[in-house]
Structure formats: C-alpha cells, structure tokens
C-alpha cells in the first residue's frame, strides 16, 4: 500500500510513521502517519507550565514509531540545553530502532514546512520571522524567505547588535512593561490602546511585514514564525495584498515539530523513490 505525498507524486510505504519533536520553546510532539498529521500536543498542556520546553511527559501518548524528526532553536541557557539533550536520550531509548532525521540546524525550514504542507498550495513563497532561529556559522537566523517546493533561500537575515530583528525587539518591549519576554500578545493588545512603546512596535512590524511580502509579487504566501501570531498584521497583509495568504495557526516554535515530521516524510519518500529506480548495466565496448 502506498500514498501520494502532497500532490508531488512521491510515494512511500503507508506504514511509515514519524514522531516529530520540538525541543525549544513550546515543547511539542506530533505523530505523522502516511504523511498525515494524526496527533499533536504541547508540553504545557500536560505539565501546566507556560511555554514548557521539556517533552518527556508527552511520550506516554506515543507508540509504534518508525522515525524520529528533531527540531529545536538556539538556546542561550545551558540548563535548557541539558534538559533538551536528556529528553532526546529518553526518546531514542524508547524507540531504539527508529530512523533519526535531525533538523536542529534548520529551525526556519521546519517553520516553513509546517505551514506549506498544510496549505494545499503546490508552490509558494514562505516567510519566516521570529526572535531566535537556528545558530549557524553565519549567525542566529531571524528572517528567512524560501521559494517552495525548490527550497531555494531567497532572503536570510541574522541577528546583529545593530539590528536585532522584530522578534527580539518585541521581547525587549515586553520586558520594559514588566511582562515575560515571550508575552508579545500583551504588547499587541496594548498597542490597540495607544501605549507608546507598544504602538510603535506594532507599527514597525506592520511596515516590515509588508516589505517582506512585497519582495516577490504575484506569488502565494506562507507565513510562519512567532511574529506571525500577530493577527492585526496578518489581517492588514490580507487586505493590502492581492494574493492568497496562509498564516500557520501554530506559528510559534511548537509548530516546528510538525514541520520536522513533514520534512522527514518527504526525505523518506525521496530516498524510496531513488532506491526503486532501476540501474542499467554498462557493457564494455
């Protein structure tokens, strides 16, 4: 039995099951069977700790897995790195025979995949904006634009002290109001009441979001990353732009477990396709 993956023509065994893991903020797991999402859960729903990143408490709900797909983000805190490492060891011990797909250096790609493969689009421009993506040799990613399905990177921006990015600026405004740094939703609410710092931040993000979306005209748009949890920005983009837009509902880091599972399924389908291509024998002439 086989299935067709996202209208791409790629086929793999319908028994292939992937456990997607997000080991960063909003720790989450998902299960993807036959290329379809069948289960998703965030740690905070079980532990009751806001934005809990430890996922070990979720493993009791997961069984019969063929592969593990891993995603995380750059951690500044060593304690969180340690907990993530321990959680991953627990997962591997529970599923010792599972194939491992590691996307820990591709945080933004996991964001984009989570949105694109749920969109129903055959192609799109994927825009990812957040405070803290993967740490690469070039820096910590804060903006990325992909052309999908080729996955060509059209734009990439890294954190610098001079330009920390919209996500980090939102964190700073949160702290200035006495909130947790990840409470950007409260800042968005204050902006509607004309609070100076919050209003300025909201206007700045609206302007930047439009700039990014107008870089590639007449293409369907996929939006993900925590900054696109801003419903006012998303509404204004829909109103201003004459293109189809899909904003990932789980745009924060939790959704990257879904993206990692999709990418693992796609990679498996490609490997299976190549393995089934007959080889020619070349005789000496």
- Are 87 and 30 part of one and the same domain? yes
Asked if 137 and 236 sit in the same domain, the reply is yes
242 within some domain:
yes
**What confidence score (pLDDT) does residue 274 get?**
54
Residues 144-149 have a mean pLDDT of: 97
Q: What is the pLDDT of residue 281?
A: 38
pLDDT at 272: 66
Whether residue 118 is contained in a domain is answered as no
Give the model's confidence band at 14: pLDDT under 50 very low, under 70 low, under 90 confident, else very high.
Answer: low
Least confident of 25-39, 125-139, 191-205, 265-279: 265-279
**pLDDT tens per residue, range 213-230:** 999 989 999 999 999 999
Which pLDDT band, with edges at 50, 70 and 90, does 271 fall under?
A: confident
Mean pLDDT, residues 88-110 = 96
Q: Predicted confidence band at 15 (pLDDT cuts at 50, 70, 90)? A: confident
Identify the band that residue 76 occupies on the pLDDT scale cut at 50, 70 and 90.
confident
Same domain, 58 and 132: no
- At residue 275 the predicted structure's pLDDT band, cuts being 50, 70 and 90, is low
Domain contains 99: yes
Exposed, middle or buried by CB within 10 Å (0-12, 13-18, 19+), for 244? middle
User: Is residue 21 domain-shared with residue 50, that is, in the same domain?
Assistant: yes
Tens digit of pLDDT for each residue in 104-136? 999 999 999 999 998 999 999 999 999 999 999
CATH of the domain at 181: 3.30.420.40
Give the pLDDT confidence score for residue 2 in this predicted structure: 34
3-state secondary structure the chain: CEEECCCCCCEEECCCEEEEEECCCCCEEEEEECCEEEEEEECHHHHCCCCCCCCHHHHHHCCCCCEEEEECCCCCCHHHHHHHHHHHHHHHHHCCCCEEEECCCCHHHHHHHHHHCCCCCCCEEEEEECCCCCEECCEEEEEEEEEECCCEEEEEEECCCCCCCHHHHHHHHHHHCCCCCCCHHHHHHHHCCCCHHHHHHHHHHHHHHHHHHCCCCCCCEEEECHHHHCHHHHHHHHHHCCCCEEECCCCCHHHHHHHHHHHHHHHHHHHHHHHCCCCCCCCCC
pLDDT computed for residue 283 by the predictor: 39
Q: Which residue has the tokens 């902006």?
A: 191
CB atoms inside a 10 Å sphere around CB 138:
8
Q: Are residues 6 and 81 located together in one domain of the fold? A: yes
Return d(Cα 221, Cα 242) in angstroms, integer: 11
Neighbouring residues of 278: CB distance < 8 A, sequence distance ≥ 6: none
Distance in angstroms between the alpha carbons of the first and the last residue of the chain: 42
Q: Which is higher by pLDDT, 217 or 96?
A: 96
The pLDDT, as a whole number, for residue 43 is: 97
Spatial CA neighbour of 219 closest among 234, 241, 197:
241
As given in the structure block, the two tokens for residue 63 are 């069984």
What confidence tier does 80 reach under pLDDT thresholds 50, 70, 90?
confident
Q: How many domains does the chain have?
A: 2
Based on the domain organization, do 132 and 232 belong to the same domain?
Answer: yes
| 226 in the same domain as 132 | yes
Percent of the chain with pLDDT over 90: 82
Q: How far is CA 205 from CA 178, 210, 213, 224, 259, in A?
A: 21, 8, 12, 14, 25
Enter the tokens of residue 250.
């789980």
pLDDT-based confidence at 151, cuts 50/70/90? very high
Mean pLDDT along residues 145-152: 97
Any idea which of 64-78, 120-134, 165-179, 207-221 has the lowest mean pLDDT? 64-78
Domain CATH for 87: 3.30.420
Range of the domain at 62: 2-105+253-275
198 and 266 in a common domain: no
Residue 34 resides in a domain? yes
Do 219 and 260 reside in the same domain of the chain?
A: no
């Amino acid at each position: 039995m086989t299935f067709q993956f996202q209208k791409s023509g790629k086929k793999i065994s319908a028994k292939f099951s992937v456990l997607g893991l997000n080991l960063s903020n909003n720790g989450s797991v998902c299960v993807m069977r036959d290329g379809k999402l069948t289960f998703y859960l965030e740690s905070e729903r079980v532990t009751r700790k806001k934005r809990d990143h430890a996922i070990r408490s979720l493993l009791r709900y997961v069984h019969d897995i063929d592969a593990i797909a891993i995603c995380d983000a750059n951690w500044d805190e060593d304690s969180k790195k340690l907990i993530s490492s321990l959680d991953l060891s627990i997962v591997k011990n529970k599923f010792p025979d599972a194939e491992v797909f590691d996307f820990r250096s591709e945080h933004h790609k996991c964001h984009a995949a989570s949105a694109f493969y749920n969109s129903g689009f055959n192609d799109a421009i994927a825009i990812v904006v957040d405070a803290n993506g993967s740490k690469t040799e070039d820096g910590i990613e804060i903006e990325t634009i992909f052309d999908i399905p080729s996955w060509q990177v059209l734009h990439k921006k890294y954190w610098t002290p001079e330009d920390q990015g919209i996500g980090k600026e939102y964190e700073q405004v949160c702290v200035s109001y006495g909130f947790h740094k990840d409470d950007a939703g409260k800042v968005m609410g204050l902006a509607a009441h004309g609070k100076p710092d919050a209003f300025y931040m909201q206007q700045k993000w609206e302007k930047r979001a439009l700039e990014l979306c107008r870089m590639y005209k007449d293409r369907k748009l996929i939006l993900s990353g925590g900054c696109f949890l801003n419903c006012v920005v998303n509404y204004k983009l829909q109103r201003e732009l004459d293109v189809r837009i899909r904003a990932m509902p789980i745009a924060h880091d939790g959704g990257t477990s879904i993206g990692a599972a999709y990418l693992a399924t796609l990679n498996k389908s490609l490997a299976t396709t190549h393995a089934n291509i007959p080889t020619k024998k070349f005789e000496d002439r």
